[in-house]
Chain A
């Protein structure tokens, strides 16, 4: 094949051009690869003050461990972490967020798991629905989330989410000493009973990560609409 060098150069050149334009340029450009976190002062005059809260927030070690577990269990196969702008889809009406997600929201993530399919609800702002200033309500929210992860059908009879029972240790009811242990409703645990479940460290990390998920802050390129995300039923917010 005498034309092979000509052919190879042509085919390679077109691929290299596409890679350069669609991957390398974004990697090195300031409007995506070179974005920085933002503070109120930085938005006003471009120079953040010491001690100001930065957005997006940095993960701590627990959140990072939870994020690894989220990816390792493949949660992103069914859940996205990206809110569409108000003009596209029905994400605002579903209470998934108060503004569309932008590239800056993900700059602190080693592996941004945006997801491609929504079998379940979006989780970009999951943390908002899993935290409450009232300690008692907060404990109830967490217990409900742990029960959901242990067996989603125990919270929502029609859920098709997988159970992550292997993240919990099942013990006889009343014997669990951990403060976040919870009772397993009859019919949703092993035979016999009554049973309680104690979250393993992995389950706690996953829950802390989910609580951390939030894009409920303003950025220069994306301001929130005033209305707060709406409360939802089991299927939407776990």
Chain B
């Protein structure tokens, strides 16, 4: 590879393919070089900032004096900004970069006009930046959990989602392949169905909010689709693409996976009101959500059967990507099982950190692990050069896996289940503990959660540094400088 021009992916990066296939794959990857690396860069940057804010918010939960003097860093704003950055900053950018790479690979057609993608990415990130400033400085967050981005940022997101969705459809229309894969289907849900769900929910909850609890209903439903129709399907697309490819085993039952997909798509949108148990809304609404959550176990079972033994096979790949994918798949199943707890009569989980724990496992354990693993595979291929420090991938995986297990346990069991039980204890007609005592009880669990976020933050910095190093190889400005110097 020349030092003076921008690199293209060499055949050595495709050991699984023959010479001709290597050339084709390299051409596809090279066509995505700039947009994918830019999406990864933006995603990594927002991930670091989002985790930093989440860490601050987490410490504030057991130490009320931490960064308390400044209005910008008051807990309510910090946690809302962290949520938006992690979901739309990290999640959105990471998902879009991955989706376009996967679509090109699956449809076997180079992406037309990738520069337009870059323009779209700029619009999306302007939305994220406006949400950050709008939340921390102006306090414009909506107050609805899972949908905290200010209205003006949310409109940018919705518009961008439609543009990217149209793009994905265009890519599929020109598909050079007769086959369709379950990964493609999951991607299509994330790229074309979610924009409708997000926009229609936004309309009733934030843009023209319904009276009173109607807006709450709409926001809760929409917030659930962020995971159910966007982040989880994207993670599943990654899992179903990489699991057979890297484990060297065909999926044991592709039909079960396809069936699982349909069950997921039909039932997941109905689960959105589960978390409103006990809230002042008609009981039938939460009952429908609860029944759908239970029924969704069918989809988990079918999808797990579809993954089959590839999920538990100890074999690993040379790039160390497979552990990420397996962890994401297992976290997906654990998330599904835990979602059932509030439905099965665990009333004491209400108003505890259990729901935060579920979100943590969903975003960090399922989506982020799948996305990070995929990027560690994709980035060297689109840039045409190995990662600067390949050894860091293993460190990043092990630290992240530990952090997610510790953080998930701390929130779901420590600050969730056990605290909830303490909160509903009554002796002689009086509540056993007041909220100051309950907060003290939760402080150890919340400290573990902070430690988990700190570990994730260190890993995110490692990922971002590797991406930055790869960016310097393909940055058009630096490439031009190198060419000039060589001439």
Chain A residues near B (Cβ < 8 Å): 1-4, 7-8, 10-12, 14-19, 21-24, 26-27, 31-33, 35, 71-78, 80, 82, 84-85, 88-90, 93-94, 100-121, 152-153, 156, 158-166, 230, 232-236
Contact = CB atoms under 8 A, between A and B. Distances in A.
Contact of A7 (B77, B140, B185, B266): B185
| Consensus secondary structure, chain A interface | loop
Interface residues of B, number: 93
Nearest to A110: B209
B213 A112 contact: yes
Nearest to B425: A90
Contacts of A166: 69-71
Contact of A233 (B61, B193, B356, B434): B434
Given A18-B270, A111-B142, A160-B439, A74 B188 contact: no
Interface string B276-289: 00111110010011
B391 interface: no
B74 A111 contact: no
Given A1-B172, A23-B204, A94-B431, A89 B210 contact: no
A153 to B, nearest CB: 7
Contacts of A80: 351
Contacts of B145: 116
Contacts of B225: 15
A105 B281 CA distance: 11
B75 interface: yes
Given A74-B74, A80-B351, A106-B213, 15 more contacts: A4-B173, A18-B270, A22-B288, A22-B289, A23-B204, A23-B217, A72-B140, A89-B347, A162-B60, A162-B76, A163-B68, A234-B436, A235-B435, A235-B436, A236-B435
Interface in B154-201: 169, 172-173, 175, 177-178, 180, 184-185, 188-189, 192-193, 196-197, 200-201
A114 B175 contact: no
B64 A153 contact: yes
Contacts of B266: 10, 14
Contacts of B177: 1
Contact of A162 (B64, B215, B285): B64
26 contacts: A4-B180, A7-B188, A10-B262, A11-B189, A15-B269, A16-B196, A22-B289, A33-B211, A71-B143, A72-B141, A73-B71, A73-B77, A74-B76, A77-B76, A90-B424, A116-B351, A116-B355, A121-B434, A159-B439, A160-B439, A162-B68, A162-B75, A163-B64, A163-B65, A165-B69, A235-B437
Contacts of A74: 74-77, 79-80, 139, 141, 143
A77 B75 contact: yes
A222 B416 CA distance: 29
Nearest to B205: A23
Given A22-B221, A72-B139, A78 B76 contact: yes
Interface in B390-435: 423-426, 429-431, 434-435
B147 to A, nearest CB: 12
A15 B193 CA distance: 8
B139 A11 contact: no
Query: What 8 A-B pairs come out closest when comparing CB atoms?
Result: A74-B76, A72-B139, A106-B212, A235-B436, A18-B269, A118-B351, A235-B434, A160-B64
B218 interface: yes
Contacts of A153: 64-65
B201 A23 contact: yes
A64 B349 CA distance: 32
Given A3-B180, A26-B282, A160-B64, A117 B80 contact: no
A93 B431 contact: yes
B281 A103 contact: yes
Nearest to B171: A1
Contacts of A27: 204, 210, 214, 218
Contact of A76 (B143, B262, B289): B143
A67 to B, nearest CB: 10
Contacts of B185: 7
Contacts of B173: 4
Contacts of A21: 270, 288
Contacts of A120: 435, 439
B265 interface: yes
Nearest to B203: A23
A33 B281 CA distance: 10
Contacts of B180: 1-4
Contacts of A116: 145, 275, 351, 355
